[in-house]
């Protein structure tokens, strides 16, 4: 029996936090560009916009609440039905100092749970990420200790926001499940399987199936692969009964050597994949029912 969902939710991850804006001119940087890209993605078929912000002057990742505020306000003022999903991943990077590894080196952003969720507490989106991950992330450490995760989960719950539990390898899924069992996550748990990131779980069909098997009963989940595995992992997620994430945060190309012209173009390709496998693309309101999230405050 097929496990393909009747309706598949497409999330568009708009810009991300990597220092890569110079690699594709389509990556949105300013709040206006990010909001416009979200609205274009919605028209193309996305139901969820996953949002990071960038410093408009440097193009690098930012945690400035004012930038989040402007992006969210622009999308809401446009009358969009998108589910807004704000990242809380920023503030988790640690790089040991050259002379003293106990002191942070240049590029470290590690900060408190309160700072990492301040924009969520203020703006009250429907969803925000909660990265259940301490791991080597390229050349730095992405650090999210169990104590910090418990505090962030509590603050997110108190704000009335649903956490999307981002897991990058099998152990993260186990920790997230324990948090669900401990009552830190209300309602139906919502997971994102993040595959292919150095040095997390590889973007393969076997890995996705295994990680999906570790999730608690009744959980809903999406998945993505980075770079050239974006579209193969989108297809695999549909086949396994999950939902799909695409976007310029995860992949800059349409085809080998061909830069993606927009987030909307990546969403359009995802729509083709979803429909070719016998599912239909969920609207934002249908996605709210699937993910069990209400309207934003």
Residue pLDDT, tens place only, 72-90: 999 999 999 999 999 999 9
Secondary structure of residue 286 in the 3-state scheme: helix
pLDDT grade, residue 1 (50/70/90)? very low
pLDDT digits (tens, 9 = 90+) for 106-149: 999 999 999 999 999 999 999 999 999 899 988 899 999 999 99
CB atoms within 10 A of CB 97: 12
- Across residues 146-153, what is the average pLDDT? 97
Share of the chain above pLDDT 90, in %: 94
pLDDT at position 3 is: 87
Q: What is the pLDDT of residue 139?
A: 86
pLDDT at position 22 over 90: yes
Question: What's the distance, Cα to Cα, between the start and end of the chain in Å?
Answer: 40
Q: Is 87 in contact with 65 (CB distance < 8 Å)?
A: no
Domains with residue ranges and CATH for the chain? 7-291 (3.20.20.70)
Asked if residue 292 has pLDDT above 60, the reply is: yes
Mean residue pLDDT of the chain comes to: 95
Percentage of the chain exceeding pLDDT 70? 98
Token readout for 61 is 């990742």
What is the average per-residue pLDDT within 33-60?
Answer: 98
Whether residue 297 is predicted with pLDDT greater than 70 in this model: the reply is no
Q: Tell me the mean pLDDT in the region 155-179.
A: 96
Which token pair is 84?
A: 């807004």
Partners of 190 in beta bridges: 164, 220
Per-residue pLDDT tens digits for 228-270: 999 999 999 999 999 999 999 999 999 999 999 999 999 999 9
Q: Which residues contact residue 61 at a Cβ distance below 8 angstroms, ignoring those fewer than 6 apart?
A: 16, 17, 18, 19, 52, 53, 54, 55, 90
pLDDT at 294: 77
pLDDT per residue as tens digits for the range 182-212 = 999 999 999 999 999 999 999 999 999 999 9
Check: pTM over 0.75? Answer yes or no. Answer: yes
Mean pLDDT for the stretch of residues 217-233:
97
Average pLDDT for 161-165: 97
Using CA atoms, how far apart are residues 48 and 234, in angstroms rounded to an integer? 15
């Amino acid at each position: 029996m097929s496990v393909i969902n009747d309706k598949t939710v497409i999330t568009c991850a708009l810009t991300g936090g990597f220092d890569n804006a110079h690699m594709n001119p389509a990556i949105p940087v300013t709040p206006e560009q990010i909001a416009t890209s979200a609205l274009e993605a919605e028209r193309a078929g996305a139901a969820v916009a996953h949002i990071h912000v960038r410093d408009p002057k440097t193009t690098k990742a930012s945690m400035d609440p004012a930038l989040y505020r402007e992006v969210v306000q622009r999308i809401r003022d446009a009358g969009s039905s998108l589910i807004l999903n704000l990242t809380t991943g920023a503030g988790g990077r640690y790089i040991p100092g050259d002379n003293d590894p106990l002191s942070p080196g240049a590029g470290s952003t590690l900060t408190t749970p309160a700072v990492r969720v301040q924009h969520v507490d203020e703006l009250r989106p429907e969803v925000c990420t909660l990265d259940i991950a301490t791991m080597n992330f390229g050349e730095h450490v992405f650090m999210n200790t169990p104590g910090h995760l418990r505090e962030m989960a509590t603050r997110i719950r108190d704000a009335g926001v649903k956490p999307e539990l981002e897991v990058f390898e099998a152990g993260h899924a186990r920790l997230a499940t324990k948090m669900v069992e401990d009552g830190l996550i209300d309602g139906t748990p919502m997971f994102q399987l993040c595959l292919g990131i150095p040095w997390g779980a590889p973007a393969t069909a076997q890995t996705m199936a295994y990680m999906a098997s570790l999730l608690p009963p009744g959980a809903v989940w999406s998945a993505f692969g980075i770079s050239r595995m974006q579209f193969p992992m989108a297809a695999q997620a549909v086949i396994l009964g999950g939902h799909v994430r695409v976007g310029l945060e995860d992949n800059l190309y349409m085809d080998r050597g061909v830069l993606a012209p927009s987030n909307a173009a990546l969403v359009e390709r995802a729509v083709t994949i979803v429909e070719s496998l016998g599912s239909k693309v969920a609207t934002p309101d249908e996605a709210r029912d699937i993910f069990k999230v209400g309207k934003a405050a």
